[in-house]
Structure 1
Amino acid sequence: MSMKYPPTNLIQAFGLADAWAQAVNFVMKNGMEIKTEYGPMSKDICSVIEIREPFAEPMLHPQFPTKELHVKEYLRQWERDYDWKKQGFEYNYMDRLINYPSRGKDVDQLKAIKDLLPKGVSRRRQAITWIPERDLFVPEDQPCLQRIWVRAIGEGNAEMHCMWRSRDLFAAWNSNMVGLVTMIRREVLEPNNLKLVKVVDFCNSLHIYEADWEAASKVKPLPKSPQMMR
């Protein structure tokens, strides 16, 4: 019996590496096969992934296909002084977050969130990347990350939710998340003496491309440690 639509799944994980392996295993087993805009097939789900310890080691799963050296180079893209135009990119997540165009003036959304967090518990601290007048009409190179939401929840703790329209699970998710949580800790949380105790990652389309199916089918979960069993 063929699927009518991609399944929606909740994954609850200890750390980022654990979450990546669980998600890969689920998509390979249950993902709907959908042809992409580029032509190749993909296995696709809608996902909600909860991570309890986002900085638990290892942050990168041993079978994540991007080598650690390349991940370190990628993490530079989440820094304020990264020259993304020089690298030939059409956009950059960090640039959208700290230079979001609004009424002729760029808005540093991360600084605003950092400055507003000490003012008390609020559900209004968020940053966006989508620029409708550009991103709805260009044929490609739109940001996958759409929104970041941060809330201080008392006792020096904070949570972050992030929303993505599209995500390459096998080749990008793990490094994406390492970059994002590291940046949020540096830019928003540490200046306010806050600890990130929960991450929720939403994906409209979390997918694995057909070219990666064979390698993805070999991904193994991390061995369970006493910490992970909490």
Structure 2
Amino acid sequence: MSDHQLDLQDSINTYWTERAPSYDAYQQRPERRDLDVEVWGRAWSAALPAAPAEVLDVGTGSGHVARLLAGLGHRVTGIDLSPGMLEIATHHAEADAGPGRTPPRFLAGDAVDPDFPAGSFDAVVGRYLMWTLRDPDAAVKRWVRLLRPGGVVAMADSLWFTDGLGELYGERPEGHLPLADARSIDEVAAALTRGGLVDVVVTPLEEVLELDRIHGVAPGHDVQLQWMLSGRRPQAAS
């Protein structure tokens, strides 16, 4: 990682650690929590192999997706570089533990360069992650390496900053966080293809959009369409 990339990643980690409590509180809103599990459960189930699968949740944040997938019967590992997010995710996992329940395990780890042996997982997932990757092409290539033949990458995201990222993470070096400035979801899909995935599919998440229209979105955000982007590792990938 270059000095510019290291400084930028440190800024990202600090931002999300500071925001972690409010971010998690929003996700845990009782009037929407069960609906989110139902709607997002359908979206993820459509994109992933049948349970139980070995799943890596990159940029897991407070563990929302990891916990949901564990509830669907998958064996999930979540990684993040934000200590604040990992603390909350670990707390939730402890509360989820019980007879017949296998909560996710949460580890410190870099979404761009996860430190696991090749062929460790059946799926790599992430939500609201692609735009904040310092090097999405390199990240996807490394995710493909972690997959078993035929394994799946599934990323849920949207076009959050069509008017520009601004100073969200402070001064951003030229050329870094390339997908933060994406004007079309096709730009995100192209990163999956360049990284080595095949059969890349972009699915609009209409049910999520309807939930957002009814219940609102996080402060500072607009109601807008989100997509599930998925592709698979070729059977003969090296």
TM-score (norm 2): 0.26
Structure with more helix by fraction: 2
Higher-Rg member (1/2): 1
Structure with more strand by fraction: 1
TM-score (norm 1): 0.27
